[in-house]
């Protein structure tokens, strides 16, 4: 078994092959997402000086069994995609990777990163890498994520919700009807969105951040977020992207953006917001319910993973917790 330094382009085919066959990996581990991050990560102060280090691990038959994509500087290295609003990160590896192969890979990695600390954040509990790390290293941190498993029957899903939530849904729909509001939800999967929609989405996202934090956003932050933020770029244009958009009376009232997993079972949505102007209509709830309805009618997708955070509305929608873990490995 050996390890060698490489670059993103030289391992593209191997990366894509392992990603496609390993359903424990998420879209944040796709080659396309990592390429977008590598092209744009320096447009933020906390990432400006980072340098990439990508390692390829080969078995005794010279077959690639693992790719380890890192960036960092000085004494700290992270998985590519950390230090921004990603959901789950991982090494790239064959589906049947063993603990012994992980152990050998870390032993080979040690001289390459001598004198540094490898900070592995956002490692999903579903990851085979997490299985190995949890058995061999102390957990540095644990963060909640919430997934809604709504299944294939939207009506059955709604009936499974609490009495209070079902009442809330009825009241929401009654108000929309009573006030004769014109509204529609459009769901786009694996489809680039227009610059106009992208602009409208970011306006709602930025305005909502101002409402919640009571602090204005700088022009430079909004410009970087529009042109160079990897989440903005990937949810707008990447293969397997997802966008669900609610318009009320012709104006964008709420949105949810993310990705479809490589096994086509789950939407992962790291970014969403509502337009506070329409808060009396519960636009976030309306969007989520209509999105789930559309997904059950038009796809085989059965999960809406609302990613990191334990906001109450996620549990009200039937969400169940799963966890991201962090580990810190020092190579002395």
Angle between the N-to-C axes of helices 230-237 and 195-213, in degrees from 0 to 180, rounded to the nearest 10: 140
CB atoms inside a 10 Å sphere around CB 156 = 11
Mean pLDDT of the residues in the chain = 96
The dihedral of CA 8, 11, 17, 23: what is its sign? negative
* pTM beyond cutoff 0.85: yes
Other CB atoms within 10 A of residue 213 CB: 9
Q: Which domains does the chain have, with CATH numbers?
A: 2-143+324-331 (3.40.630.30), 151-301 (3.40.630.30)
- For residue 45, the model assigns a pLDDT of 86
CA distances from 104 to 59, 60, 109, 132 (A): 10, 12, 9, 12
CA distance 26 to 35: 15
Find residue 267's DSSP bridge partners. Answer: 260, 304
Say if residues 276 and 208 touch (Cβ distance below 8 Å).
yes
> What are the angstrom distances between the C-alpha of 247 and each of 27, 66, 201?
27, 44, 11
pLDDT at 219: 86
Parallel, antiparallel, or unpaired: how do β-strands 76-83 and 183-189 relate? unpaired
Please tell me the distance from the alpha carbon of residue 169 to that of residue 297, in angstroms, as a whole number. 19
- DSSP 3-state assignment of 83? strand
Helices 230-237, 31-40: axis angle to 10 degrees equals: 140
Tokens 């392992």: give the residue.
Answer: 18
Sign of the torsion angle spanned by Cα atoms 110, 111, 116, 122: negative
**Nearest-CA neighbor of 270 among 262, 258, 284, 253?**
258
Local confidence pLDDT in tens for the 332 residues of the chain: 999 999 999 999 999 999 999 999 999 999 999 999 999 999 888 899 999 999 999 999 999 999 999 999 999 999 999 999 999 999 999 999 999 999 999 999 999 999 999 999 999 999 999 999 999 999 999 999 999 999 999 999 999 999 999 999 999 999 999 999 999 999 999 999 999 999 999 999 999 988 887 788 898 889 989 999 999 999 999 999 999 999 999 999 999 999 999 999 999 999 999 999 999 999 999 999 999 999 999 999 999 999 888 899 999 999 999 999 999 999 98
Give the whole-angstrom CA distance, residue 27 versus residue 224.
22
φ, ψ dihedrals at 66, nearest 5°: -160, 145
Confidence at residue 211, expressed as pLDDT on a 0 to 100 scale: 82
Tokens 């769901």 found at: 187
Give the Cα separation of 257 and 238 in Å (integer).
Answer: 12
What pLDDT, on a 0 to 100 scale, did the predictor assign at position 214?
75
CA dist 182 to 140, 173, 275, 278, 307, Å? Answer: 49, 12, 16, 12, 30
Q: What is the pLDDT of residues 101-145, one digit of tens each?
A: 999 999 999 999 999 999 999 999 999 999 999 999 999 999 999
The Cα-based distances of 196 to 186, 232, 247, 257 in angstroms read 15, 13, 14, 15
pLDDT at 212: 81
């Amino acid at each position: 078994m050996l390890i060698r330094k490489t670059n993103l382009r030289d391992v593209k085919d191997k990366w894509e092959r392992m990603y496609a066959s390993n359903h424990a990996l998420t879209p944040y581990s796709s080659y396309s997402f990592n390429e977008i991050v590598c092209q744009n990560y320096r447009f933020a102060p906390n990432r400006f000086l980072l340098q990439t280090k990508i390692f390829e691990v080969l078995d005794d038959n010279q077959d690639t069994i693992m790719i380890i994509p890192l960036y960092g500087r000085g004494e700290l290295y992270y998985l590519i995609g950390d230090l921004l609003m990603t959901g789950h990160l991982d090494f790239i590896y064959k589906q049947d990777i063993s603990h012994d192969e992980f152990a050998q890979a870390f032993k080979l990695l040690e001289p390459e990163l001598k004198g540094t600390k490898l900070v592995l954040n956002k490692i999903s509990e579903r990851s085979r890498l997490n299985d190995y790390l949890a058995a061999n290293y102390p957990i540095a941190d644990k963060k909640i994520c919430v997934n809604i498993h709504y299944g294939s029957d939207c009506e059955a899903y709604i009936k499974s919700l609490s009495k209070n939530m079902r009442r809330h849904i009825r009241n929401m729909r009654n108000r929309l009807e009573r006030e004769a509001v014109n509204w529609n939800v459009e769901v786009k999967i694996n489809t680039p969105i227009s610059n106009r929609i992208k602009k409208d989405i970011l306006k709602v996202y930025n305005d909502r951040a101002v409402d919640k934090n009571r602090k204005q956003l700088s022009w430079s932050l909004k410009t970087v977020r529009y042109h160079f933020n990897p989440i903005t770029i990937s949810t707008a244009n990447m293969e397997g992207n997802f966008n669900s958009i609610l318009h009320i009376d012709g104006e964008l009232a709420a949105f949810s953006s993310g990705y479809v997993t490589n096994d086509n079972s789950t939407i992962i949505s790291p970014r969403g917001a509502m337009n506070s102007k329409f808060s009396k209509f519960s636009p976030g709830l309306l969007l989520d319910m209509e999105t789930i309805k559309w997904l059950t009618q038009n796809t085989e997708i059965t999960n809406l993973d609302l990613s990191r955070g334990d906001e109450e509305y996620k549990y009200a929608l039937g969400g169940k917790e799963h966890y991201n873990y962090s580990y810190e490995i020092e190579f002395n």
